[in-house]
Amino acid sequence: MTEISRVAHPTLYGPTTEGGVTLFGLRCRRCAKVGFPRQRYGCENCGAYGDDLLDLDLAPEGELVSFAAVHRHQGRDIQAPFVMAEVRLDSGPLLRCTLAQRDDAGLAIGKRVIGRLVDGTSPDAPRELRFFVAGA
Amino acid sequence: MAKRLSDLRPVYVVGIGLHRYQRPSDTPYVALGLAAVRSALADADLEWKAVESVFHANCMLGMAPTRVMLRHLGATGIPMQQVENASASGSTAFRNAVMDVASGISDVSLALGVDKPAPFTLASTKNGLDTLERDRVAAFTHFALLAQTYCAESGATAEDFARVAVKNHGNGAKNPFAQRQQSRTLSEILDAEPVAGFLTPLQCCPVGEGAAAVLVASEDAIRKYGLNRRRAPRVLSSTMRSERIYEPATGFDAALTEEAVTQAFAEAQIKPDELDVVELHDAFTVEELLYVERMGLCARGDAPRELRSGAFDIGGRVAVSASGGLLAMGHPLGPTGIGQIAEITRQLRGEAAGRQHPGAKTGLAHMVGVGAVCVVHILRNED
């Protein structure tokens, strides 16, 4: 595995040659519904499956729908505080994702957010997708 | 849908029994369950041999727990099955028991919920698809996100959420079966360190152990066994819905609730303002505000003001979570939905000493299960 491909969730997103990141989504050939993550099981909207589900790269850009600063968490290798968010991508899907900031200062529903790859928590850790408030 | 419950023969709740919800202990699940069933049989004045089927809700006991427990009542050979539907397991088991009687398969059926906390894995973690943040979204984080959205839409504040907890902890203090039996002040709720967003620990339900049992019966059985018809509310509707795609794709819990409740009202042929008592899925405070609005108990965005006015208190316009709800009575998973039916039955009989809502005739029980599903029942005391 090359250095540039070492991301935390390689089936969900990957780096672009321009230094950005792209999300691996899909578009249903039958109903045009755009979805994330990429899968072939079937379209949640119309039931089309297999080759009717087309690969579609999604830009990690959208609008903040909700957010919550998490102060307690018992997950392995995850240290609170962190900020969870719901982001509606410009392409349609709603994502749950982690914001780059560790508190909710300055956040407001409706703000523009952009996803970027950031270094992992240790030198050997893969890069992770984090969302930033645009212009911050 | 070919038929509704109202097209089938009438079903009545004839017996209720509970083992107190409590912190996990060394008490075997068998002891919890037998206590609840024996209490329900005594309440109905029925013998075990009258029971013709069992639907046992549980999420964490493991495979095949039912006969191991119920053989101690006498191995009568009746059909027994486990029911798992996440938080809505108990509600689903009750629905199964109701349908078993309504269809004429059985005359007396037992819905039983027994659970003890144990490690478990959601099947969604094994679906072959990765997610961005599954490990980071605990249940309280999911509802903290909903709370933030609700604030933006309604102008609600952190205090409005805390007031739900004050009411429900106060109700739980009057319920001998509740896990949490202590009234709390607004500052006790509000001033604690948050776990996520607006939510503080006492705004999150405890998941402990316990048991709840409900016996349902046909009119034939009521006559055959000489049961007290005046203590037996009728089940007017039983509805279940699963999540669809909602646009905009937010707040599916509330949208799903609205769908299921709307169907329940139509089936029962009643309107929301006819409800006297409601037990709903208040695992986290924000849920009560969301759901009372979607149930039509008040206008959208008005729940905080109505709560503050006392509309949802015992003795108010409609008592919401008179048992203490999941927040105070607790949420042991399997028993929870059946415990709601027990509380509503007690209220409709006028037997909820210390927390009785005056004149209660009609009640609604509502649970949401992760996945997501929503189960709603409406009961009425027709006498």
Whether the model pTM is above 0.95 = yes
pLDDT in tens, A96-129: 999 999 999 999 999 999 999 999 888 889 999 9
- Give percent above pLDDT 90 in chain B: 93
pLDDT in tens, B160-179: 999 999 999 999 999 999 99
Q: Given pLDDT bands bounded at 50, 70 and 90, which one contains residue A1? A: very low
Give the separation between CA B207 and CA B283, rounded to whole angstroms.
10
Q: Which of B125, B129, B133 to mutate to test the interface with A (most CBs of A within 10 A)?
A: B133
Which secondary structure element, helix H or strand E, spans residue A85, and what is its range? Answer: strand A82-89
Q: Which residue has the higher pLDDT, B231 or B247?
A: B231
Q: Which of A23, A33, A65 to mutate to test the interface with B (most CBs of B within 10 A)?
A: A65
CB within 8 Å: B197 and A88: no
Instruction: State yes or no: pLDDT of A75 exceeds 90.
Output: no
pLDDT in the model for residue B248: 64
Q: Given pLDDT bands bounded at 50, 70 and 90, which one contains residue A2? A: very low
3 state DSSP class of B98 = helix
Instruction: State yes or no: pLDDT of B199 exceeds 50.
Output: yes
pLDDT in the model for residue B136: 87
pLDDT in tens, A27-46: 999 999 999 999 999 999 99
Q: Does B194 touch chain A (CB under 8 A)?
A: yes
This model of the complex carries an ipTM of 0.93
In one-letter notation, the amino acid at residue B313 is D
Residues of A in CB contact (< 8 Å) with B are 9, 11-12, 37, 39, 41, 44-45, 65-76, 78, 82, 84-86, 88, 93-98, 109, 129
Mean pLDDT, chain B, whole residue set: 96
Q: Given pLDDT bands bounded at 50, 70 and 90, which one contains residue B135? A: confident
Spatial strand order in the sheet of B209-217 = B80-83, B53-57, B108-115, B209-217, B12-22, B234-242, B373-380, B362-369, B277-279, B319-320
pLDDT in tens, B27-83: 999 999 999 999 999 999 999 999 999 999 999 999 999 999 999 999 999 999 999
Q: Which residue has the higher pLDDT, B213 or A18?
A: B213
Q: Is residue B31 a contact partner of residue B217, using CB atoms and an 8 Å limit?
A: no
Based on the number of CB atoms within 10 Å of its own CB, is B156 exposed (0-12), middle (13-18) or buried (19 or more)?
buried
In one-letter notation, the amino acid at residue B93 is A
pLDDT in tens, B103-128: 999 999 999 999 999 988 888 889 99
CB within 8 Å: A12 and B249: no
pLDDT in the model for residue A89: 97
Give the separation between CA B183 and CA B81, rounded to whole angstroms.
38
- Please name the residues in contact with B356: beta carbons below 8 A apart, sequence gap of 6 or more: B314, B347, B350
